[in-house]
Structure formats: structure tokens, C-alpha cells
Amino acid sequence: MAKFSMLIDPSRCTGCGACRIACQMQWQLPPDMAFNRLEYRERGSYPNVRQEIVPVQCQHCDNPPCLHVCPTRATYKRSDGIVLVDHKKCIGCKYCMVACPYGVRTMDKEKHVPEKCKFCADYVVKGEMPPCVGTCMNEVRVFGDVEDKNSRISSLMAKKSLYQLIPEKGTQPRIYYVKK
């Protein structure tokens, strides 16, 4: 069984926003709604300070707090590690939005349900890449099956020093970041 993950190398990101726009186009989102964002962070201490641009989206956690608080079980996790929302079950209570330590849920004003990155689930099962991965000119993101030891993501993860966002929350994210 596939276990999908994403590897993100912030040092390669120029902040162009192509990943966000590609995702918005893929899911026909309005300009004020996005499933991923770029966070600008300062690293280091004076005089050796640098700016780092960190792409952030749903982390598709192995232990997703959004799933645990959902009263209708609208938020669910597939066996391949992708966390999704069943709009038919969602009552729009926003508990998932509050529970997410990454702040990546956004309210769909037309459907009145919280939305998030879907890891382009319908496309990746057909072997296609999420648009945020394919559109990046600097190959900031690598997506794939970490259970496949011959995959590009597995190969890179074995060679790089990695970190995850907010590990102290115990969410066990499926998105890994390359340390500088």
C-alpha cells in the first residue's frame, strides 16, 4: 500500500507563488482562498541573518487532530495517508479549523465547509503529480510514495537532514522539510 508524503526544500524556494496559483487553478478556488501558503521567516542571528521561505499546507498527519475533533467524522484518513473531508458529512462546525496547529484549513464560503489541501488525491492514484509540485521551477517539492524505496522521495529523504513542523504537537506530519 502506498504511503504518500511530500518533501519540501525551503532553501530552493524563491517565493514566486506558482505553487499556490497552480493549486487555485486546479481546484478553481477564488483568489482569496488557497490550500497552501508561503511563510517568510528570519533565520540566524545578527549579523548572519537570512530569510527563509517555507511553503505550508495540510500536513496529512498520521495523528491528525482535525480528525479526532470532528463530531460527524467528515474528516477521515485514507490508508495511503491522505487526510480528506467528506462534504456530505460536514456540518461546518469549524472544530477542525481550530484543532489544526498548522492553520491550514480555510472556509469555503459557497459550500460552507472547511477545506484544505487534498494532496490531489484523485490525481496521485493515477500516477500524476500534484500541480504545486509540477509547476515549481526550482523543484522545491518532491511528492511520492515513501513505501517505495526506489522512489525519488525515498532516495532524497535518505540523503537529507530533515525536520517536520511543530513536532511537539505529536501530529506526525507526512510533509518533511530539508534542513539548511
Write out pLDDT tens, residues 46-58.
Answer: 999 989 999 999 9
Nearest to 161 by CA among 55, 57, 9, 12: 9
Give residue 17's pLDDT: 96
Give residue 138's pLDDT: 96
Measured at the CA of 5, the angle between CA 14 and CA 8, to 5 degrees, comes to 15
Give residue 111's pLDDT: 87
Residues of the chain with pLDDT under 70: none
Domain that includes residue 30, residue range: 4-178
Domain count across the chain: 1
Give residue 84's pLDDT: 97
Nearest to 118 by CA among 157, 162, 87, 83: 83
Buried b (16+ CB within 10 A) or exposed e, 3-36: bbbbbbbbeebeeeebbbbbbbebbebeeeebbb
- pTM of the prediction? 0.94
Give residue 43's pLDDT: 85
Give residue 129's pLDDT: 94
Cα 107 to Cα 161: distance, rounded to the nearest angstrom: 35
CATH number at residue 92: 3.30.70.20
Q: Is the dihedral angle over the CA atoms 106, 108, 112, 116 positive or is it negative?
A: negative
- Strand pairing category for 83-85 and 106-108: unpaired
C-alpha separations of 10 from 76, 127, 162, 178 in Å: 29, 25, 11, 7
Give residue 38's pLDDT: 97
